[in-house]
Every structure is written in C-alpha cells, then in structure tokens.
C-alpha cells in the first residue's frame, strides 16, 4: 500500500471510495490514519471531546470483512467521521460541552449514529461544542468545556458556535465529514467561518433521538463536509422517519443529483443590500464574485424582500421558553453555576420566567411566518445571502453586547438580515457554500429553500462548486 499523504485527509467521499476500490488504501488504514490525526491535531483547535480510536478500529475491521465477502453498504462504507458531543454513544461520556455533565454516560446510542454504523461509516471521535449548544446565550467563545473553538485558518479567530468542533475538524482534515446541530445558526455560522460545506436539513427530516434537547421545535441535525455532494450522500444515510423522535416528519430522503433541474430554470431570490451595505467591506468582492458565478451558471437572480416580522424576538421567546423547561433541573440544582459563561448562566435562569401567554403568541406568529415563506417560494425556488456578513471574529471578542449597552448602528437596508432565525422558525433547509476569502479568512453563501427541497439546494451547490474551487482550499499548515 502507498503511504498516506495529506491529500487523503481532504478527499471527498467519492474520492475515498475510488481509493479503497483501487486498493490504494484500506478501510482499516483510513481509520488508523484519521483517528491518529484527530487525536494529535484536534486538541490544537479545541475540537476534540473524546477520541474513539479503538471503536474506529473495530468498525473498520468489520467494514474490511464485509468488503472481503462482497457485501457493500453504499458510499459511506469505511469513511471516517465525527459527531458533535451532544449525541449519545452507548457506554461513552456525552458531556454536552458543559462541566455539570462531564461524567454523563448513556446506555444507548443516538439514532443518527446507528444509521451511520449501518451505512458502514467509521466513527473516530466525538467533537467539541459550545456548552449546552449555546442554551441561555453566551458572550464569549470560551463558553465550552474544551475551551474556545479555534479556527484552522487562524487560531486567534473563532471556529464558530455551537458546532465549533464539527466545522474545525472537517476544515483541518481531521474527519471526512461530521455531524453538527442547529437551533439558530449553529451549522451555518461555523461552516461559514471555517470554509466548509454544510447542510441544515428541513426540521424533522433527521431524527434527534439521542441528541441533547435545547429546543424541541427548533433543533436539527446535519452534516459538515468537503462538498455539497458529500452532504447529499450523508443526508441520504441519516434521514428518515423515527418514532422515537416526536418531531420526526416521517419522510425519507434520496439523493438524486441525476434529476437536478437546469440552473437556467431556477429563480433565486436575493437582496442587493446583503452584498453591499450589510457585508463587511473586506468580504464584498468575494460575495460579488459568488453572485457572478450563479449568474454565469444561468440562474435568474431576482430582488426579493423578506416579510417584515420580528424574527429574532419570536425565536428568542420560543427558544427561551423551551430551554427553560429542558434545563429546569440543572437550574434548580444550582449546578448551572458551573457553566463557564456568566451570561449563559443568567440567560438560563431568566428562561424560567417566560410567560405562557408570550410563548403562545410567539408560536402563533411563527405559523404566520411559515405561511409567508410558503408564498415566497411560490415566486422563487431558493434564496441566497451571505452565510455571515464577514469572517470569523477574534476568540476574545465579545459575541454580544453587555446588557444595557447601546445597540450598534443598523445598516441602512436590512436585506435578509433575519434569514437565519426566520429559516429556523419556518423549519427551512439551508446549504452553506464556501465562496472565497476576506483577507485570509473564508466566507460563505447560504442557500435556503422550501421545506424538503434539499435536492434542489444540493444541485445548486454542486453546480457552484463545479465552477469554483473555494471548497478545495486548505488551511495553512
């Protein structure tokens, strides 16, 4: 067998399939190489929560035995991956990124881990996260049991939250793909900051059984990977109905790129202000070029406005009410004081005071928001905006102002400024696509679609990535 070089750590799933098929590398060699790399380099980004080299070895050995006897399970067979440490793995610690749960062990594994094992994927480690997936709100990137997530492109910058370890591990070539979660931005933000492709699925498409609950009506699980195609292959394996998750949509997903609509038939809504007034000056050339790629591919870009709703406030009330119910035992026990971020402690305590009338009003507005977005998608096929307005901030920069501080001046035009909370309130899928750099730090687009339009989003992503190589860029060193 040839020696394993750096290229293999940044290879896509089809590329690794081809290398295994040609006997260039075996599943067991891949597992050893990736597991060791994750152990050695993961702590340098504060990305590793729990190494699983022995488990990876056993799973890879089973894959090798299957392949020896001609038993194939699909494109994820033998592919090394990691999961955010809010997913239970039987007999192993599941810390939720927080000191009060550092010794927590479940006797069952999350549905998504079982599905990936059935597909033959090889689990090499659990990945770091912001404590309690950011429940209560946090002011500093250091709000994590493992320390602040460090960006592989510049370790003085944040890798994003709350799926900090998942994004950093893919960006640094420590895993081929990773599973993260989003309640309001926790997939799109770290993917944008770390320059990796990621998919937030439609609410209910992927089972959350065995995942820490933050908000029962907002939480979603999805993949980080090296390409849109990789995200489609992973989603194919992890989606599906699950009676153990009350929020399951009861739907399956089949990745079907062969049936993609031509780009010239697609109408993509956007707000010009997002790419000029709202975007950081350093990121505007990259965003403008990305829009140019979509136009060159034939897509019809149509100026679109989001309905005028208080998206942030509505989401905050719903999230606060639900997280208060979820973490009431932690708060009542006093162990909430063990969390690393004082703002988060205060936020969790305050969540117990959300009035039922306010929660119910927010849920009623949410239903109106969902209807309004259905009307938007009658006119356009997808929406596009910056994933974040600029590159990753320094790890010591406050992520929100102190209570009572004067708010920052708002841009003259709001554009799609509420798209992340709006998309989560409406349960919409979104794809993060690396689209260039602001200085030496990556930036990304987010492409948002109607519920269960993942194949459409992935086809847009695949076409975009066939015309660019931003998803192929690697961090220095």
Provide the token pair at 67.
Answer: 């392949």
Following DSSP, what letter does each residue of 111-165 receive, concatenated?
A: HHHHHHHHTT-EEEEEE--SGGGGTT--SSTT-STT-PPEETTEEEEE--SSSHH
DSSP class of 309 = -
Is residue 295 scored above 50 in pLDDT? yes
* Confidence label for 2 from pLDDT (cuts 50, 70 and 90): low
pLDDT digits (tens, 9 = 90+) for 197-243: 999 999 999 999 999 999 999 999 999 999 999 999 999 999 999 99
Mean pLDDT for the stretch of residues 405-423: 72
Kindly give the pairing relationship between strand 300-303 and strand 267-270.
Answer: parallel
Provide the token pair at 184.
Answer: 């309001």
DSSP class of 394 = B
Bigger pLDDT: 221 vs 1? 221
Q: Using CA atoms of 185, 191, 192, 198 in order, give the dihedral in degrees to the nearest 10.
A: -90
DSSP class of 213 = P
Is residue 131 scored above 60 in pLDDT? yes
Q: How far is CA 347 from the centre of its chain?
A: 23
Taking every pair of Cα atoms in the chain, the longest distance, rounded to a whole number of angstroms, is 66
pLDDT digits (tens, 9 = 90+) for 370-388: 999 999 999 999 999 999 9
* Confidence label for 407 from pLDDT (cuts 50, 70 and 90): very low
Is residue 46 scored above 60 in pLDDT? yes
User: What are the strands, taking DSSP E only, across 228-324?
Assistant: 267-270, 300-303
Is residue 108 scored above 80 in pLDDT? yes
Is residue 408 scored above 50 in pLDDT? no
Sort 70 into a burial class: Cβ within 10 Å, 0-12 / 13-18 / 19+: exposed
Query: Is-contact 157 441, C-beta < 8 A?
Result: yes
Is residue 412 scored above 90 in pLDDT? no
| Domains, the chain, ordered by start | 1-477 (3.90.1300.10)
Peptide bond into 162 cis (omega under 30): yes
Kindly give the pairing relationship between strand 177-182 and strand 80-84.
Answer: parallel
Could you give the residue numbers annotated as active site?
Answer: 84, 162, 186
Terminal-to-terminal C-alpha distance of the chain = 25
Express as a percent the part of the chain with pLDDT over 90. 95
What number of other Cβ atoms are within 10 A of residue 61's Cβ? 14
- The confidence score (pLDDT) of residue 462 equals 98
Mean pLDDT for the stretch of residues 449-459: 98
CA distance 225 to 167: 8
- The confidence score (pLDDT) of residue 400 equals 76
Is residue 47 scored above 90 in pLDDT? yes
- Say whether pTM exceeds 0.85: yes
């Amino acid at each position: 067998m040839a020696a394993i070089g750096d290229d293999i750590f940044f290879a896509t799933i089809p590329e690794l399939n081809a290398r295994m098929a040609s006997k260039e590398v075996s599943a067991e060699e891949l597992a050893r190489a990736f597991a060791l790399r994750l152990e050695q380099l993961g702590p340098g980004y504060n990305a590793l929560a729990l190494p699983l080299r022995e488990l990876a070895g056993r799973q890879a050995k089973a894959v090798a035995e299957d392949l020896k006897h001609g038993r194939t399970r699909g494109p994820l067979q033998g592919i090394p991956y990691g999961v955010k440490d809010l997913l239970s793995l039987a007999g192993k610690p599941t810390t939720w990124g927080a000191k009060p749960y550092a010794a927590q062990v479940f006797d069952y594994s999350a549905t998504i881990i079982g599905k990936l094992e059935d597909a033959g994927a090889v689990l090499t480690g659990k990945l770091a996260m912001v404590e309690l997936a950011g429940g209560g709100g946090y002011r500093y990137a250091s709000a994590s049991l493992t320390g602040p997530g460090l960006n592989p492109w510049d370790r003085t910058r944040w890798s994003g939250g709350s799926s900090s370890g998942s994004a950093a591990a893919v960006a640094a070539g420590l895993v081929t793909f990773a599973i993260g979660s989003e309640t309001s931005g926790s997939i799109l933000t770290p993917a944008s900051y770390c320059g990796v492709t990621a998919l937030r699925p439609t609410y209910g498409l992927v089972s959350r059984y065995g995942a820490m609950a933050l908000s029962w009506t907002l939480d979603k699980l999805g993949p980080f990977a090296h390409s849109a195609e990789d995200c489609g292959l992973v989603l194919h394996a992890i989606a599906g109905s699950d009676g153990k998750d009350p929020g399951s949509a009861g739907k399956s997903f089949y990745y079907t790129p062969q049936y993609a609509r031509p780009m010239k038939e697609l109408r993509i809504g956007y707000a010009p202000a997002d790419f000029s007034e709202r975007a950081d000056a350093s990121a505007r050339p990259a965003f403008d070029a990305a829009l140019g790629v979509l136009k060159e591919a034939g897509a019809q870009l149509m100026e679109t406005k989001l309905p005028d709703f208080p998206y942030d406030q509505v989401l905050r009330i719903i999230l606060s009410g639900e997280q208060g119910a979820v973490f009431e035992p932690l708060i009542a026990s006093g162990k909430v004081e063990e969390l690393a971020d004082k703002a988060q402690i205060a936020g969790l305590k305050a969540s117990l005071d959300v009035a039922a009338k306010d929660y119910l009003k927010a849920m009623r507005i949410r239903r109106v928001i969902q209807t309004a977005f259905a009307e938007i998608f009658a006119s356009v096929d997808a929406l596009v905006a910056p994933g974040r307005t600029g590159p990753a901030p320094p790890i010591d920069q406050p992520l929100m102002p102190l209570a009572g501080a004067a708010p920052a001046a708002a841009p003259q035009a709001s554009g799609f400024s509420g798209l992340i909370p709006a998309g989560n309130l409406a349960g919409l899928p979104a794809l993060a696509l690396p689209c260039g750099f602001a200085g030496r730090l990556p930036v990304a687009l987010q492409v948002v679609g109607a519920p269960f339009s993942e194949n459409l989003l992935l086809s847009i992503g695949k076409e975009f990535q066939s015309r660019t190589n931003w998803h192929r860029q690697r961090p220095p060193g």
